[in-house]
Amino acid sequence: MGTTVIDWLDWLKVARREDTVKTRQYWIERFRKEHQHVFESPLDVPTGQIVRWLTNPSWEPQTRRSVAATIRGFYNWIELMDEDIKNPTTKLPSIRVPRGITTPAPHEVISRALSRFDDPELQRLVALGIYSGLRRMEITTLYTSNIWGSRLKIVGKGGRERLIPIHDGLAPHLFEVKSGWFFPRRYTGHRHHDFIGRRIRTALGKPWHTHSLRHRFATDLYTATKDIRAVQQLLGHSSISTTEIYLMLMTDDLDLALQQLPRY
């Protein structure tokens, strides 16, 4: 890893969460390695090449935006440290993420995964998604110290903290772990979030994934309570408009709404 990259990551650690720094490290290292055969340093990569690299067809818009944020952050820091260095990302186009339709995993798919009594870890993963609505990274980094009596204390995006009541359906999966990481690696630390994501995708089957469990949590909670503020707080969203994306009105609700139109 180049000295410049190490210095940038150390600078990030002052104000960024560990998982954010790790994500930035992954993408800037990938950027550096995929260009080192042509460019001696990341500082030599021109704007046009950065744009071409960001058009990777296998990346979803959300991934592309995350990668672009990493690259912009790196070059902005370099410019901050040395004003004489030209920043090649100042004219990069902004990346918009389309507002898609929410995709809650079907109940039968979830029930099938929860019936895997031969795989307690998988059951715990799925239970955390449908009974607490945790993000993939929040699941990955869950430690027994996150249990505060009858609640889970979660530090989410932007360092925002929230307390989530432990549902009766989740409690048995949590309290069987006495101490340490809920999803430990073989020797030290916790599993990587990509590993967690693959486990859940494999168990649920296509096209369902970790966020489909979060969508199911939000949809079921709103359907039962009609309390969007409660859903917002439990999901850890700073804006209620973000929460609205996660809510899926049932077909019956849409039919009932449409029937309220007057006849002419």
How high is the pLDDT of residue 250?
55
Same domain membership, residue 74 and residue 145: no
pLDDT value for 127: 96
Beta strands in the chain (DSSP E): 147-148, 151-155, 161-165
Q: What pLDDT does residue 81 have?
A: 86
Measured CA to CA in angstroms, residue 18 lies from 28, 73, 244 at distances of 15, 16, 29
> 97-109, pLDDT tens digit by residue?
766 667 889 999 9
Q: How many CA atoms lie within 13 A of 14 on its CB side?
A: 5
- 121 belongs to a structural domain: yes
Domain membership of residue 73 as a residue range: 3-81
Question: Does one domain contain both 144 and 234?
Answer: yes
In a domain, 130, yes or no: yes
Please report the pLDDT score of residue 182 as a whole number.
Answer: 95
Amino acid at 64: R
CATH number, position 190: 1.10.443.10
Work out the burial of residue 236: count CB atoms within 10 Å of its CB; fewer than 13 is exposed, 13-18 middle, 19 or more buried: buried
- Give the contacts of 11 (CB within 8 A, at least 6 positions apart): 77
> Is 262 part of any domain?
no
Categorise residue 205: left if φ over 0, alpha if ψ from -120 to 50, beta otherwise.
left
Q: Which two tokens stand for residue 60?
A: 């979803």
Question: Domain check: are 117 and 223 in the same one?
Answer: yes
- State the CB neighbour count (10 A cutoff) for residue 73: 18
**Gyration radius from the chain CA atoms:** 21
Same domain, 137 and 229: yes
Distance between first and last Cα of the chain:
70
pTM reported for the whole predicted model: 0.70
pLDDT of residue 128: 96
How confident is the model at residue 96, as a pLDDT?
Answer: 81
pLDDT digits (tens, 9 = 90+) for 160-176: 899 999 999 999 999 99
Which residues of the chain, if any, have pLDDT below 70? Answer: 1-2, 98-101, 248-254
Alpha helices by DSSP H, listed for 14-119, are: 18-33, 47-54, 61-81, 107-114
Query: Do 179 and 246 share a domain, yes or no?
Result: yes
Calpha distance 152→128 (Å, rounded): 11
Q: Are residues 126 and 251 in the same domain?
A: yes
CATH code at 51? 1.10.150
> Which residue bears the tokens 């700073």?
238
Nearest to 4 by CA among 52, 51, 38, 36: 36
Res 1: pLDDT: 52
CB within 8 A of 186, min separation 6: which ones?
A: none
Domain count, the chain: 2
Q: Answer whether 73's CB lies under 8 Å from 37's CB.
A: no
